[in-house]
Amino acid sequence: MQVNINSVRFKADKRLTAFINEKVEKLSSYYEGVIGSEITLKVENTEEPENKVAEIRLIIPGNDLYAKKQCKTFEEATDSAVDALRRQITKHKSKLRTR
């Protein structure tokens, strides 16, 4: 699976990209049809401490799956986005089985 990480207006360090790669790669174990993923990391310009945003688009045949989460750290945002995508994959697989 190909993983593309885009960080907007900052440079993501190697530790963060390794963490994101590890989490997103695990999604392919839930569904073999995953082609790739695009991750966008942003820092929102707000007064809130929860200003780190992770958007993950999972590319699969048919409609892509998408999750966007905002938390205090990029690691937290990535974790919750991956959890949301795992639930979407489970739902997608059950729809495929009923056809």
61, 68 in Cβ contact below 8 A? no
Looking at this protein, which amino acid is placed at residue 16?
L
Label the pairing between strands 65-71 and 36-43: unpaired
66, two tokens: 């998408």
pLDDT value of position 68:
98
Q: Give burial (CB, 10 Å; 0-12/13-18/19+) of 21.
A: middle
Q: What is the block-wise mean pLDDT of the chain (99 residues), using blocks of 10 residues?
A: 94 96 93 94 92 96 94 97 96 87
The structure's pTM equals 0.93
pLDDT value of position 98:
85
Q: Single out the residue of 25, 13, 15, 29 nearest to residue 56, CA to CA.
A: 25
pLDDT value of position 96:
84
pLDDT value of position 29:
92
- Domain architecture of the chain: domains with CATH: 2-98 (3.30.160.100)
